[in-house]
Amino acid sequence: MFTDFLNTIKELALSSGYAKGSPLQFLMIGIACFLIYLAIVKQYEPLLLLPISFGVLLTNLPFANLYHPELFITSSGHIDIQNIVEHGGLLDFLYLGVKLGIYPPLIFLGIGAMTDFGPLLANPKSLLLGAAAQLGIFMTFIGALFFGYTPQEAGSIGIIGGADGPTAIFVTSKLAPHLLGPIAIAAYSYMALVPLIQPPIMKLLTTKKERQVVMQQLRPVSKLEKVVFPISVTILVSLFLPDATPLVGMLMLGNLFRESGVVERINKTAQNELINIITIFLGVTVGATAKAEYFLNTKTLGIIALGLIAFSFGTAGGVIFGKIMYYATGGKVNPLIGSAGVSAVPMAARVSQKVGQKENPANFLLMHAMGPNVAGVIGSAIAAGVLLSVLQ
Amino acid sequence: MNETISLGLNMTFVGIVVVFASLIILCIIISFFPILNPKKTRTSAKSEPANISSIPQVKDTRNNGVPEGDLSDDSLVAVLTAAVLASMRNRPDVKIRVTSFKRIEQTSPVWNTTGRKEYIANKL
Which residue in chain B has the smallest CA separation from A132? Answer: B20
CB nearest to B26's CB, from A224, A233, A354: A233
Q: B43 or B27: which carries more pLDDT confidence?
A: B27
Chain B residues close to A234, C-beta within 8 Å: none
> What is the reported pLDDT for B43?
46
A392 pLDDT above the threshold of 90: no
> What is the reported pLDDT for A203?
95
Chain B residues close to A219, C-beta within 8 Å: 34, 45
> What is the reported pLDDT for B124?
67
The answer to whether B12 contacts A142, with C-beta atoms less than 8 Å apart, is yes
B41 pLDDT above the threshold of 70: no
Q: B58 or A63: which carries more pLDDT confidence?
A: A63
pLDDT confidence band for A267 (50 / 70 / 90): very high
Answer yes or no: are the C-beta atoms of A99 and A72 closer than 8 Å.
Answer: yes
Residues of chain B numbered 66-85 and touching chain A (CB < 8 Å): none
A59 pLDDT above the threshold of 70: yes
For the segment A358-386, what is each residue's pLDDT rounded down to a tens digit? 998 888 899 999 999 999 999 999 999 99
Specify the amino acid at residue A175.
L
State the Cα–Cα distance between residues B70 and B100, nearest whole angstrom: 11
Q: Is B9 on the interface with A (CB under 8 A)?
A: yes
Lowest mean pLDDT among A195-199, A271-275, B76-80: B76-80
Q: A206 or A347: which carries more pLDDT confidence?
A: A206
State the Cα–Cα distance between residues B103 and B85, nearest whole angstrom: 19
Mean local confidence (pLDDT), A256-266:
94
A321 pLDDT above the threshold of 90: yes
> What is the reported pLDDT for A199?
94
State the Cα–Cα distance between residues B49 and A60, nearest whole angstrom: 65
Chain B residues close to A233, C-beta within 8 Å: 26
The answer to whether B31 contacts A241, with C-beta atoms less than 8 Å apart, is no
Q: How far is A66 from chain B (nearest CA, A)?
A: 38
A41 pLDDT above the threshold of 50: yes
**C-alpha dist (Å) from residue A119 to A115, A163, B28:** 10, 20, 16
Q: What percent of chain A has pLDDT over 70?
A: 99
Chain B residues close to A236, C-beta within 8 Å: 22, 25-26, 29
> What is the reported pLDDT for A170?
93
For the segment A6-35, what is each residue's pLDDT rounded down to a tens digit? 888 888 888 888 888 889 999 999 999 999
Q: A76 or A269: which carries more pLDDT confidence?
A: A269
pLDDT confidence band for A64 (50 / 70 / 90): confident
For the segment A164-189, what is each residue's pLDDT rounded down to a tens digit? 889 999 999 999 988 988 998 888 88
Which residue in chain A has the smallest CA separation from B34? Answer: A225
Chain A residues close to B50, C-beta within 8 Å: 216
B52-86 burial code (b ≥16 CB/10 A, e <16): eeeeeeeeeeeeeeeeeeeeeeeeebeebeeeeee
Q: Is B17 on the interface with A (CB under 8 A)?
A: no
The DSSP result for B25-88, as a single string, is HHHHHHHTGGGGS-HHHHHHHHHS-GGGGGS------TTTTPPPSS---HHHHHHHHHHHHHHT
> What is the reported pLDDT for A10?
86
A93 pLDDT above the threshold of 50: yes
Cα-based angle B2, B5, B9 (whole degrees, multiple of 5): 140
CB nearest to A237's CB, from B22, B28, B88: B22
Q: Is B112 on the interface with A (CB under 8 A)?
A: no
Specify the amino acid at residue A28.
M
> What is the reported pLDDT for B42?
47
Q: Which runs of consecutive H residues, i.e. helices, occur in A46-134?
A: 46-59, 81-87, 90-99, 103-114, 118-122, 126-132
Span between the terminal Cα atoms of chain B, in Å: 47
Kindly give, in sequence order, each residue whose CB lies less than 8 Å from that of residue A276, ignoring residues fewer than 6 positions away: none
Mean local confidence (pLDDT), A318-345:
93
> What is the reported pLDDT for B45?
45
Which residue in chain A has the smallest CA separation from B46? Answer: A219
> What is the reported pLDDT for B44?
47
> What is the reported pLDDT for B67?
46
For the segment A188-227, what is each residue's pLDDT rounded down to a tens digit? 888 888 888 999 999 999 999 999 999 988 888 999 999 9
State the Cα–Cα distance between residues A306 and A312, nearest whole angstrom: 10
Chain A residues close to B49, C-beta within 8 Å: none
In sequence order, what E strands does A120-263 have?
A: none
A75 pLDDT above the threshold of 80: no
> What is the reported pLDDT for A220?
86
B95 pLDDT above the threshold of 60: yes
> What is the reported pLDDT for A53?
93
State the Cα–Cα distance between residues A200 and A312, nearest whole angstrom: 10
pLDDT confidence band for A253 (50 / 70 / 90): very high
State the Cα–Cα distance between residues A175 and A243, nearest whole angstrom: 13
> What is the reported pLDDT for B72?
55
Chain A residues close to B33, C-beta within 8 Å: 121, 124, 221, 225, 228-229
Q: B99 or A171: which carries more pLDDT confidence?
A: A171
**C-alpha dist (Å) from residue A75 to A249, A279, A354:** 32, 31, 52
The radius of gyration computed from the CA coordinates of chain B, to the nearest angstrom, equals 26
B25 pLDDT above the threshold of 60: yes
Chain A residues close to B41, C-beta within 8 Å: 222
The answer to whether A241 contacts B22, with C-beta atoms less than 8 Å apart, is yes
Mean pLDDT taken over chain A: 91
Residues of chain B numbered 37-66 and touching chain A (CB < 8 Å): 37, 41, 45, 50, 53-54
Mean local confidence (pLDDT), A220-242:
92
CB nearest to A138's CB, from B16, B37, B54: B16
For the segment A276-313, what is each residue's pLDDT rounded down to a tens digit? 999 999 999 989 988 888 888 888 999 999 999 999 99
Sign of the Cα pseudo-torsion (A174, A176, A182, A183, in order): negative
Q: Is B6 on the interface with A (CB under 8 A)?
A: no
Q: Which of B5, B20, B23 is the best substitution to test chain A (most A C-beta atoms within 10 A)?
A: B23
- A:B CB pairs within 8 Å: 121
Which residue in chain B has the smallest CA separation from A366? Answer: B124
Exposed / middle / buried, residue A266 (Cβ in 10 Å: 0-12, 13-18, 19+): middle
Q: Is B11 on the interface with A (CB under 8 A)?
A: yes
A263 pLDDT above the threshold of 80: yes
pLDDT confidence band for B90 (50 / 70 / 90): low
The answer to whether A141 contacts B12, with C-beta atoms less than 8 Å apart, is yes
